[in-house]
Amino acid sequence: MSQPATKPGAVRIVEVASEDADQRIDNFLMRHLKGVPRSRIYRILRRGEVRVNGRRAGPDYRICAGDKVRIPPVRTAASGAGGPAPVRPGLEAAILYEDHRYLVLNKPSGLAVHGGSGVSHGAIEALRALRPQARFLELAHRLDRETSGCLLVAKRRSALRAVHELLRSGGVEKRYLALVMGDWQGGPRRVDAPLRKNQLRGGERMVRVDPTGKTAQTRFRPLTAYGQATLMEADLGTGRTHQIRVHGAHCGHPIAGDDKYGDEAFNRTMRSLGLRRLFLHAHSLAFTEPDTGREIHVSAPLAPDLRAVLDTLEKARRPAPRPIEARGGS
């Protein structure tokens, strides 16, 4: 049974500190209205209930040091879809790296990176619930909900600005492991195929290769061939939505377990081998801090369920042992 909703408080006027400057106001409000779904944040922005220096502000407005933000009272549920994010068991153990500026989480498959679009809570809300004393925790990039692995979180506004600049300039190396359909031929390959978002199949978001789309580049490198499938490493040159999944399918090698862009028959075969989710894992993340020159390199091991699928494929590709012919007696 859901708990009664908490009563809204009074209007608050929050002055933006220099450390919080240059972020979008929707992200700023998510921190000050903990437990409120992102859809609700957008609603109060559209209605003009949020004011910056006495004026309406859209969700893409970037706040400045000294801005005075009017935050209206918002009713939230004590539990359920609008309630505060729960502390997820095992989340602390999933933190792969942490210093005073950054945190890297080994995000499990099935966990969205943030709430919204029918998901009440995501990884960032769960981290904030785990660290209620943290003044600043923001996603530095995104991963698909079905994708597991390295997720970078900034603990300071200056760190977020620095890593965003690195992402724009290609200074962050992100490598993924993907199990794809078929026997990959020809060694490493770079796929340059522009991508465009569409709304298809009952409003579900889809991404297609389209010459009018945005530039997208993925470098694929085969690691292990299993005959019916190949384990690949994918290195992103750009970070478009569903990029590896769409580029793999475009090459004729869709990713195992991909219900959106994959091959149904191949997915059935992989399910028979124990695969219950998308086989796409962000296995490493590396960059050099521009202000300190410090190198950060983090890797996330494959989860046991994905490793078990590879073990099964490995056993299947080994030739069956031949019986030793009996030798005649003396």
Is 144 in the active site?
yes
Query: Which pLDDT belongs to residue 6?
Result: 44
> What is the assigned CATH class of domain 92-316?
alpha beta
Helix (H) or strand (E) holding 42: helix 38-46
For the chain, report the end-to-end CA distance as a whole number of angstroms.
82
Mean pLDDT of the chain: 86
Query: Which pLDDT belongs to residue 90?
Result: 84
**pLDDT tens profile 278-323:** 999 999 999 998 878 889 999 999 999 999 999 999 988 776 666 6
Superfamily of the domain at 11-73: RNA-binding S4 domain (3.10.290.10)
Cite the residue boundaries of each domain of the chain with CATH code 3.10.290.10. 11-73
Mean pLDDT, range 31-55, rounded to an integer: 85
**pLDDT tens profile 177-204:** 999 999 999 899 999 999 998 866 666 7
Using CA atoms, how far residue 130 sits from 34, 92, 96, 137, 144, in Å, is 13, 8, 15, 11, 22
Q: What is the dihedral of CA 106, 221, 320, 301, to 10 degrees?
A: -10
187 C-beta neighbours (distance < 10 Å), count: 8
- Catalytic residue, from 67, 144, 258, 263: name it: 144
Reported as a pLDDT band with limits 50, 70 and 90, residue 324 is low
Reported as a pLDDT band with limits 50, 70 and 90, residue 85 is low
Task: Answer yes or no: is pLDDT of 2 > 50.
Answer: no
Cite the residue boundaries of each domain of the chain with CATH code 3.30.2350.10. 92-316
Contacts of 308 (CB under 8 A, 6+ apart): 274
